[in-house]
């Protein structure tokens, strides 16, 4: 069993490294025919406009849309979440192509630019219930999107209060709708809809592997057979020193 990782741009190596720690092989996907060798896919964070241009160049969009439509498990992190959304606002002039399938509206740079990137302890009740561990997860938000609206089939897995430095610019010249989210309100940052998982933050940049094992369980439930390998390396993982970034909080 191998998990495909879209490897056009962004943090695909980091996802592959986490999968390796869980005893699962990550396969780099760059071309449409390579998608046929895998039954699930992770779309990493990075820069969604650049990623869209590269996907267009490699003629990947039709194959990616087909992959999603066939009900295969796909997890988009950050730029990958934007890619999976049915609608994105705050895009560059001319917009960008999306895969779609996830019934939600995302704001591309909801939390602001690079300088507004932040880390926070995110309450993750469903993840903790399924994967164990602490009730919160350390969310690394890098020029992160926010999920402004979700459809009726979308399950919200995490949301956070809108930070007080949030400065949404819906860029009306692009026809984006005015958004009413204000500081103090909550914004959705993780969702699941059937075979699709979306997180606005970067679980591949932390030592906590629960989002990855949650996705592997989705793969298992939908038709794969990865659970035995996940359990097999659990002990090995806990005996390794954790190399991790420091956490900052506002
Ligand atoms: N907001 C970025 C974009 O539009 C995504 C940032 C990320 O993936 N870290 O591509």
| Sequence-ordered alpha helix ranges (H) in 70-133 | 79-84, 125-131
> Which residues are within 8 A (CB) of 211 and not within 5 positions of it... i.e. 6 or more apart?
127, 137, 199, 203
- Protein residue closest via CA to atom 5 of ligand 1: 79
Domain ranges of the chain: 2-239
| List 14, 15, 78, 107, catalytic entry | 78
The average pLDDT across 225-237 equals 40
pLDDT in tens, 46-105: 999 999 999 999 999 999 999 999 999 999 999 999 999 999 998 777 778 999 999 999
Binding-site positions for L-glutamine read 46-48, 108, 142-143
Confidence of residue 23 (pLDDT cuts 50, 70, 90): very high
Q: Tell me the CB-side half-sphere exposure of residue 123, using CA atoms within 13 A.
A: 8
**Distance from Cα 218 to the centre of ligand 1, integer Å:** 24
* pLDDT higher than threshold 60 for residue 171: no
Q: Tell me, yes or no, if 104 is annotated catalytic.
A: no
* pLDDT higher than threshold 80 for residue 231: no
What is the rounded distance in angstroms from the CA atom of residue 40 to the CA atom of residue 72? 6
Q: Is the CB of 108 under 6 A from ligand 1?
A: yes
* pLDDT higher than threshold 90 for residue 250: no
What percent of the chain is predicted at pLDDT more than 90? Answer: 74
pLDDT at 228: 39
Q: Tell me, yes or no, if 202 is annotated catalytic.
A: yes
pLDDT in tens, 101-152: 999 999 999 998 888 899 999 999 999 999 999 999 999 999 999 999 999 9
Q: Is the CB of 226 under 6 A from ligand 1?
A: no
Reduced to 3 states, what is the DSSP secondary structure of residue 29?
strand
Q: Is the CB of 101 under 6 A from ligand 1?
A: no
* pLDDT higher than threshold 60 for residue 219: yes
* pLDDT higher than threshold 60 for residue 168: no
Q: Is the CB of 220 under 6 A from ligand 1?
A: no
CATH architecture of the domain with range 2-239? 3-Layer(aba) Sandwich (3.40)
């Amino acid at each position: 069993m191998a998990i495909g990782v879209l490897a056009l741009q962004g943090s695909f190596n980091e996802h592959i490294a986490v999968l390796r720690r869980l005893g699962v092989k990550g396969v780099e996907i760059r071309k449409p025919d390579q998608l046929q060798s895998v039954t699930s896919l992770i779309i990493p964070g990075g820069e969604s406009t650049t990623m869209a241009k590269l996907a267009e160049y490699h003629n990947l969009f039709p194959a990616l849309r087909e992959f999603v439509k066939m009900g295969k498990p796909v997890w988009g992190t950050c730029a990958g979440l934007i890619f999976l959304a049915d609608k994105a606002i705050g895009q560059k002039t001319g917009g960008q192509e999306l895969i779609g399938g996830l019934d939600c509206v995302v704001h591309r740079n909801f939390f602001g630019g690079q300088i507004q990137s932040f880390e926070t302890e995110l309450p993750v009740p469903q993840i903790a219930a399924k994967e164990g561990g602490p009730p919160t997860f350390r969310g690394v938000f890098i020029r992160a999107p926010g999920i402004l609206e979700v459809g009726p089939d979308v399950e919200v897995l995490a949301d956070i209060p809108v930070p007080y430095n949030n400065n949404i610019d819906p860029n009306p010249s692009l026809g984006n709708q005015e958004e009413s989210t204000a500081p103090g309100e909550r914004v959705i940052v993780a969702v699941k809809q059937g075979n699709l998982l979306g997180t606005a933050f970067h679980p591949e940049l932390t030592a906590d592997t629960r989002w990855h094992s949650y996705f592997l369980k989705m793969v298992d439930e939908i038709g794969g057979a990865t659970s035995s390998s996940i359990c097999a390396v659990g002990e090995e993982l806990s005996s390794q020193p954790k190399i991790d970034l420091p956490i900052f909080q506002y």
